Amino acid sequence: MRVRFAPSPTGYPHAGNLRTALYNWLFARHCGGRFILRIEDTDRERTLPDAEPYLKEALRWLGLDWDEGPEVGGPAGPYRQSERLDIYHRLADELIARGAAYRCYCPRERLEAVRAARRAANLHPYGYDRHCRAWSEAERQERAAAGAPFVVRFAIPLAGETGWEDAIRGYITYSNRELDDHVLLKSDGYPTYQFANVVDDHLMGITHVIRAEEWVPSTPRHLLEYQAFGWEPPVFAHLSLITEPGGKKLSKRLGARPILDYREEGYLPEALVNFLALLGWSPGGNREIMAPAELIELFSLEGIVPHPSTFDLEKLDWINGVYIRKLRPADLLERALPFLQRAGLVHTLPTESERELAARSLPLVQDRLRRLGEAPELAEFFFRDPPEYDPRAVQKWLDPIEARAILVRTRDAFRRLDQWNEATVEEAVRRVAAELEMRAADVIHPTRVAATGRTEGPGLFETLAVLGKERTLARIEDALRRFVPGG
RNA sequence: GGCCCUAUCGUCUAGUGGUCAGGACGCCGGGUUCUCAGCUCGGUAACCGGGGUUCGAAUCCCCGUAGGGCUACCA
């Protein structure tokens, strides 16, 4: 089994592109086949210089390693189409010699006029009228001698039909009469996708073409080319598109966002892979959370659904949260630290104490994270002195008249502690509550607001244990001075 | 306009002629608890419509309808 992912470097790959890559990769890994990366840079106008590096970075981030392709090489290279022009020319000439292709000298203006006229007259297909296909050998020679610019077009059989058994959607067939003679070689000497794709898939020994649904209508053209060459076509599997919630069309907001944006927001690659795998494929049972190794084991073409699927950010967030919660403390620290750095909570090169504070505080907010990017906000009060006080929290828990007594006694109890840890802090708080004949919660809430500025967050005792005695006392003093009436 | 694809809870999906149509996200409620989150228990919610075929259709066929794709010297 040999499959390929063949993006064109004309933009930054999004979820749809990467899902296609993922399915190819999963299929190859499942079968023990080869996953090939091929860069289809045949559009000289639209090719972006940084698109290929970005693409490779995205694949690497998601863990989709390629066995052959740019950087790693391979026996069927080069793997960049712009480096294979001689091959396309040679094979185009071969097709011309066989009478399966011909040179077309029609200027663009004529093409456009023809298209408009056919559309107006409702003549199908709307495309090229095969003007140059009808010439005699003498006329061809004449044109060639004149040295006019030309494209090479494929001579679609005038009758019959072309079909294939799609691995995802069953038998699909087209009447050849619906197909116009498409361009194989452009006038700039570059091949079109319709040609390079077929040539390379054959030369690279691709056995299964797993690609997006947008290619369905051009598949008969590809099949006809295989036929003209006398080549065995691969198995085709056409994936449905990913759509947006509500509206449908892909927008820049979700599915069409450059995939690395998700990294910036703190999505874990294995979570995104899990999510993408589920977006149009199912292992059959009720499995939801699957690590890459499990996906590889369970993946099959049969499990791919034929209908489009909507990109559901809520579900991605849930899956990401599941993966974040599974992170071991050391991994959590390494993965979340960059977000704390970017938010300015720790230095770009964190000090030893910053690292330690991060290592101790991050596990406390771990359960609450859906994206690592939320870590700075959730853990901020551990790093900033004084913390930011939420006015509503202050109003509710520090303003009432009994707040002073509670906080003063709690502070005094804390001061007396020799050992400062979760257990001693808890004991002290509960003792204060007992002395005041209050519920523990009545002491806990004001103390939390005084120490963190918020009503929400990790358990108070573990929070204070991490914050330390000194900073806890300083914050309570500070809160007493600033917010608590009756001083 | 033409050709092609698709159609199960709001969303992702299981289902392959006989099921109380299952699971997950979300949402709602209970429990745990110092809050939030998490965890946990429970609930809400679907076979696009109409014809067939069949003893019996979510499952097979046809026709609608709806959504999507393609219709470039872009991929």
Determine phi and psi for A455, rounding to 5 degrees: -95, -20
At A239 the pLDDT is 97
> Considering chain A, what is the average pLDDT of its residues?
95
Residue with smallest Cα–C1' gap to B35: A456
**Is residue A357 very low, low, confident or very high in pLDDT (cuts 50, 70, 90)?**
very high
At A125 the pLDDT is 83
Q: From the alpha carbon of A304, which nucleotide's C1' atom is closest?
A: B13
Whether the pLDDT of residue A260 is over 60: the answer is yes
Residue bearing the bigger pLDDT, A171 or A123: A171
Strands A242-243 and A309-310: parallel
Q: Alpha-carbon distance A80 to A69, whole Å?
A: 8
Mean pLDDT of A314-327: 97
- Report chain B positions within 7 A of protein CB atoms: 1-8, 10-15, 22-26, 34-39, 67-75
Mean pLDDT of A219-231: 98
At A249 the pLDDT is 64
Q: Alpha-carbon distance A288 to A309, whole Å?
A: 16
Listed in order, strand segments (DSSP E) in A234-378 are: 235-239, 242-243, 309-310
Count of CA atoms in the C-beta half-sphere (13 A) of A213: 15
Please write the tens of the pLDDT for every residue from A272-311.
999 999 999 999 888 999 999 999 999 999 999 999 999 9
% of residues, chain A, pLDDT over 70:
98
Q: Alpha-carbon distance A334 to A172, whole Å?
A: 50
Tokens 């185009």 correspond to A92
User: Could you give the residue numbers annotated as active site of A?
Assistant: 252
Residue with smallest Cα–C1' gap to B7: A307
The ipTM (two decimal places) reads: 0.96
> Is residue A178 within 8 Å of residue A197, measured between CB atoms?
no
Mean pLDDT of A467-471: 97
Residue bearing the bigger pLDDT, A144 or A341: A341
Residue A295 to residues A16, A20, A57, A96, Cα–Cα distance (Å): 18, 15, 21, 45
CA A473 from chain centre, in angstroms, equals 46
Please write the tens of the pLDDT for every residue from A54-90.
999 999 999 999 999 999 999 998 999 999 999 999 9
List Cβ neighbours of A447 (8 Å cut-off, separation of 6 or more): A406, A407, A410, A429, A460, A464, A476
Judged by average pLDDT, the poorest of A35-44, A126-135, A136-145 is A136-145
Whether the pLDDT of residue A247 is over 70: the answer is no
At A252 the pLDDT is 56
Q: From the alpha carbon of A11, which nucleotide's C1' atom is closest?
A: B75
Whether the pLDDT of residue A254 is over 70: the answer is no
Q: How far is the CA of A445 from the C1' of B34 (A)?
A: 7
Q: From the alpha carbon of A284, which nucleotide's C1' atom is closest?
A: B14
At A248 the pLDDT is 62
The type of residue at A148 is A
Please write the tens of the pLDDT for every residue from A430-452.
999 999 999 999 999 999 999 99
The type of residue at A164 is W
Q: How far is the CA of A286 from the C1' of B27 (A)?
A: 21
Q: How far is the CA of A168 from the C1' of B54 (A)?
A: 28
